[in-house]
């Protein structure tokens, strides 16, 4: 393994673990996501999925920004389905900007990390497209994880309690 690739890998895991332990990021546990998860777990899954994609495609990425962008990509701090002031379309199109504003208030972000957060819903956010490998990976990982969560939700609706029983065994 090349030393730069190894360093980026270590940067990802170091930052990912540090961010997951950050009390500000822990707040994401309060907000449900896709009715089967919460924003903290979803963002964690997106981070690991994006990292795995970078490895599978042998892409050299900024591991630190990949972790930070993934953990903050949905930092909008509300329950989308429970917020009466925001409709579904408004949430889909607007939450990346809200997440970015919230993240900028509490974290120092590079231009790369700002683009990751702002563009993660592309192509819905047509004018804000991914401008880096990291942003493309987060965009893809978010779609993959959201699809998986929606499938889990549908399976849970068909078989109530199955997901919780499996979660308790783990």
- State the Cα–Cα distance between residues 119 and 145, nearest whole angstrom: 16
- State the Cα–Cα distance between residues 52 and 12, nearest whole angstrom: 11
Mean pLDDT of 71-89: 64
Q: Can you give the pLDDT at residue 121?
A: 76
Whole-structure pTM over 0.85, yes or no? no
- State the Cα–Cα distance between residues 149 and 12, nearest whole angstrom: 24
- In this predicted structure, the answer to whether residue 18 has a pLDDT above a threshold of 50 is yes
Q: N- to C-terminal Cα distance for the chain?
A: 33
User: Model confidence over 90-143: pLDDT tens digits?
Assistant: 545 557 788 889 889 989 999 999 999 998 776 666 576 677 999 999 999 999
- CATH number of 125's domain: 1.10.3210
Strand partners, 38: 32
- In this predicted structure, the answer to whether residue 89 has a pLDDT above a threshold of 60 is no
Q: Can you give the pLDDT at residue 154?
A: 52
Comparing 80 with 75, the larger pLDDT belongs to 75
Average pLDDT, the chain: 79
- Which domain covers residue 81, as residue numbers? 3-169
- Helix (H), strand (E), coil (C) string for the chain: CCHHHHHHHHHHHHHHHHHHHCHHHHHHHHCEECCCEEHHHHHHHHHHHHHHHHHHCCCCCCHHHHHHHHHHCCCCCCCCCCCCCCCHHHHHHHHHHHHHHHHHHHCCCCHHHHHHHHHCCCCCCCCCCCCCHHHHHHHHHHHHHHHHHHHHHHHHHHCCCHHHHHHHHC
Mean pLDDT of 77-92: 54
- In this predicted structure, the answer to whether residue 147 has a pLDDT above a threshold of 90 is no
Q: How many domains does the chain have?
A: 1
Mean pLDDT of 53-61: 92
Q: Can you give the pLDDT at residue 157?
A: 45
């Amino acid at each position: 393994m090349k030393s730069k690739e190894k360093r980026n890998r270590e940067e990802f895991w170091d930052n990912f673990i540090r961010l997951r332990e950050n009390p500000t990021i822990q707040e994401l546990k309060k907000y449900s996501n896709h009715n089967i998860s919460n924003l903290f777990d979803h963002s964690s899954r997106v981070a690991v999925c994006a990292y795995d994609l970078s490895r599978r495609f042998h892409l050299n990425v900024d591991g630190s920004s990949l972790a930070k962008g993934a953990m903050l990509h949905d930092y909008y701090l509300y329950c989308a389905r429970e917020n009466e002031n925001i409709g579904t379309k408004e949430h889909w199109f607007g939450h990346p900007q809200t997440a970015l504003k919230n993240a900028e208030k509490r974290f120092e972000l590079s231009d790369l990390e700002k683009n990751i957060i702002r563009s993660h819903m592309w192509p819905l956010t047509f004018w804000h497209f991914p401008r880096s490998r990291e942003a493309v990976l987060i965009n893809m990982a978010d779609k993959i994880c959201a699809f998986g969560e929606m499938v889990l939700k549908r399976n849970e609706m068909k078989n109530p309690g199955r997901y919780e029983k499996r979660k308790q065994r783990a």
